[in-house]
Amino acid sequence: MFYHTKKLQYFKPPEKPDPIYAKKIQELIGGTFGEMTVMMQYLFQGWNCRGPAKYRDMLLDIGTEEIGHIEMLATMIAHLLEKAPLKMQEEGALDQVVGAVMGGTNPRDVIMAAAMNPQHAIVSGLGALPADSVGFPWNGRFIVASGNLMADFRSNLHAESQGRLQAVRMYEMSDDPGVKDTLSFMIARDTMHQNQWLAAIEELKADGLEDTPVPSSFPLDLEKREYAYQFWNNSEGTESAEGRWAKGPSIDGKGEFEYVENPKPLGPEPVPPQPDPRLHGTAKDKSLQGESGSSKKIIG
């Protein structure tokens, strides 16, 4: 069960409204790696967790923190959308630009009215949306909770890496001290969360629960070991031979990397089975198709 406190985890309001920046910052709420993703991902991982209590508790702690991050950004967006220009004055566009030179109205408003997210006016009445920076809605396929903690902590590490990268890009794209201050808190939390998932991966190994390759509980002799450390060079040129992945012991310590410079297929040409005549597909031979099954013995 959950409780709410009215204060925000952290917040500095923007100094000035900016509806274009509001459009962009939606990426951090409802984008593939936005706060809705990490919130839902950690909560579902926590709820589905069957591992030791420390992992479950930790997942729910951070998932709960992330709900508050959506709240911070939603508040930010409400401020950024204040006094957003709602229309381009049709006659006036030309005049406005001329006017700008003359000391008249602000042509920035004309551009803002044209390029802001229209749903910020029409749908949400100048509030945040559960969508990304192009207006695409957040959806449940953005998250994963597999029950295997190593697989999931690697997902979490990746989400926090993409998330911090995007927050940093948003930081670079602003000059507003309030925006930058709030983002610098969120970027710091992302630093923590990258460290946290790296630490959690170490903990899983230290507990003897999971290792590389994931899932480590699957007996290795059931996979085709002879292909488990080969790099296949499927393009002409061999620049790819210069990397760590092409030679030396494998990172899992269980094999040796091998560079296959001219890979050849190991399998046969496919021999697709002939179609069921009742589905009226095209067969190799007209005699295999074309009669209605309705006058035939039914298989199913």
Task: Determine the Cα–Cα distance for residues 193 and 197; give it in Å rounded to an integer.
Answer: 6
Q: Any known ligand binding at 69?
A: yes
Q: Any known ligand binding at 292?
A: no
The first and second tokens of residue 73, run together, are 């950004």
Q: Any known ligand binding at 235?
A: yes
The first and second tokens of residue 54, run together, are 């420390």
CB 82 → its own copies: shortest distance, Å? Answer: 4
CB 120 → its own copies: shortest distance, Å? Answer: 10
| Residues 6+ positions from 99 with CB-CB distance below 8 Å | 105, 107
Interface pattern 23-42 for its own copies (x via CB under 8 A): xx--x--xxxx--x---x--
CB 38 → its own copies: shortest distance, Å? Answer: 13
- Binders of its own copies in range 168-207 (CB under 8 A): 168-176, 180, 184-185, 187-192, 194-196, 198-200, 202-204, 206-207
Beta bridge partners of 238: none
Cis, peptide link before residue 215, omega less than 30° from 0: yes
Interface pattern 122-161 for its own copies (x via CB under 8 A): xxxxxxxxxxxxxxxxxxxxxxxxxxxxxx--xx-xx--x
- Binders of its own copies in range 59-78 (CB under 8 A): 60-65, 67-68, 70-72, 74-75, 78
At residue 77, the 3 state secondary structure works out as: helix
Separation of CA 130 from chain center: 14
Q: Any known ligand binding at 233?
A: yes
From 109, 129, 133, 110, select the one nearest 119 (Cα to Cα): 129
Backbone angles phi, psi at 139, to 5 degrees: -145, 160
> Closer to its own copies at the Cβ: 38 or 157?
157
- Binders of its own copies in range 204-243 (CB under 8 A): 204, 206-210, 212-220, 222-243
CB 287 → its own copies: shortest distance, Å? Answer: 10
Q: Any known ligand binding at 61?
A: yes
Interface pattern 86-115 for its own copies (x via CB under 8 A): xxxxx--xx--xx-xx----xxxxxxxxxx
Q: Dihedral sign, CA of 290, 295, 299, 300?
A: positive
Task: Determine the Cα–Cα distance for residues 279 and 294; give it in Å rounded to an integer.
Answer: 11
Known binding-site residue numbers: 35, 57, 61, 66, 69, 160, 193, 233, 235, 237
